[in-house]
Amino acid sequence: MALEDLVGEMQSKADQLKELNHTVLFDLGDDGKILLDATGGDVKITLNPEDEDAETTLALSVANMEKLIAGDLNPMVAFTLGKLKVFGSKGIALKLSGLLDK
């Protein structure tokens, strides 16, 4: 799945993601980055943002990101197995995992 497709999948969950009210950077290694900004009432999703300043950064592969969005990979299991690394607020990451499960 291309990064543009991942962004589209995230945008389809924008109503759920509004509740996050934080910024999260998805670092997909050499494949790129996606910034989720759910502050200010709107959800903005930016592919390869110039400003990568976020409250929490999640580092994972594109394949695992696809599985997370599709609900085929539990975020807690991914974290425990080292498939997902969290930098910054673990609380924001937990809140995001709850929103993706909806």
Is residue 88 within 8 Å of residue 56, measured between CB atoms? yes
Is residue 91 within 8 Å of residue 59, measured between CB atoms? no
Residue 24's domain comprises: 3-100
* pLDDT at residue 101, rounded to an integer: 63
Q: Give me the number of domains the chain comprises.
A: 1
- pTM recorded for the entire structure: 0.93
Place of tokens 């997902």: 84
* pLDDT at residue 98, rounded to an integer: 82
CATH number at residue 69: 3.30.1050.10
Question: Which residues have a Cβ under 8 Å from the Cβ of 89 and sit 6 or more positions away?
Answer: 22, 55, 56
Residuewise pLDDT in 10s, the chain (102 residues):
789 999 999 999 899 999 999 999 999 999 999 999 999 888 999 999 998 899 999 999 999 999 998 889 999 999 999 999 999 999 999 999 888 765
User: What letter would DSSP give residue 30?
Assistant: G
Question: Which residues have a Cβ under 8 Å from the Cβ of 21 and sit 6 or more positions away?
Answer: 38, 39
Is residue 39 within 8 Å of residue 23, measured between CB atoms? yes
